[in-house]
Amino acid sequence: MTDLFPAFDTLIVLDTETTGVNAQHDEIIELGAVRLRRDGAEFVADADLSCLIRLPTGRTVPPMIEKITGISQAMLDADGVGRREAAETLHDFMQGEKTLCVAYNAQFDLSFLYYFLARFGLADCLRGLKFLDALTVFRDRRPYPHKLENAIEAYDLGGQAVNSHRAIDDARATVCLLEAMAAEENDLDRYVNLFGYNPRYGISGKPIGSITYCAQSYDPHPPLYMLSE
């Protein structure tokens, strides 16, 4: 991923599992993140963050979410940390200069993270960061479908990565995917702060001020950064 030099010293690749799709009303139940630091001519894994998060009193894990993720209410009750503790841990984990935050379908995760952190006055750790959406890159590289599991299959990453719908596994899978996409075409820097969206449905959630959004077809097309120039 040499195209990301010298703009970034740190990559934080993250994923969330949630109780639904509405960032203002649903809750994060699991956080997973991998931090990579620049070491010479490559990025090297430096630290992981993985935690289950207890729900507010009166809220429970919906059956469909438990079916998808395998995360049960009993697991949160037994092993989850409080929301403030999780927010403070993530806030500290995100600190650093020249940091690029990466996720697969980043608009979804960043929307949840903003409301989650803002609840405790900790959203400042997102200010000034640059963002990369691995889904936007994958849509440019391969035709539909575009789930993370499809990307793992397309790049033959089954021996290195798994889309388990658990946050740390999916964050690690996204790291492997980034490396594979960079090896294929070293242009990840052109996608920084550029998010594609389905023109049929529009931008999901609240737009992020620093992001350029462009309608992105599900069919093969020129790279989105060429269309946005």
Residues annotated as catalytic (active site), given as ranges: 165
Q: Which residues contact 139 (CB under 8 A, 6 or more apart)?
A: 146, 196, 216, 218, 224
Q: How far apart are CA 165 and CA 184, in angstroms?
A: 26
Contact status, residue 118 vs residue 91, Cβ threshold 8 Å: no
The sign of the CA dihedral 188, 87, 211, 155 is: positive
Q: Which residues contact 39 (CB under 8 A, 6 or more apart)?
A: none
Q: How far apart are CA 138 and CA 216, in angstroms?
A: 11
Look-up: residue for tokens 């995360």?
71
Phi, psi of 221 (to 5 degrees): -160, 170
Helices (H), the chain: 63-69, 73-79, 83-93, 106-118, 134-141, 148-154, 167-184, 224-227
Tokens of 176: 């492997």
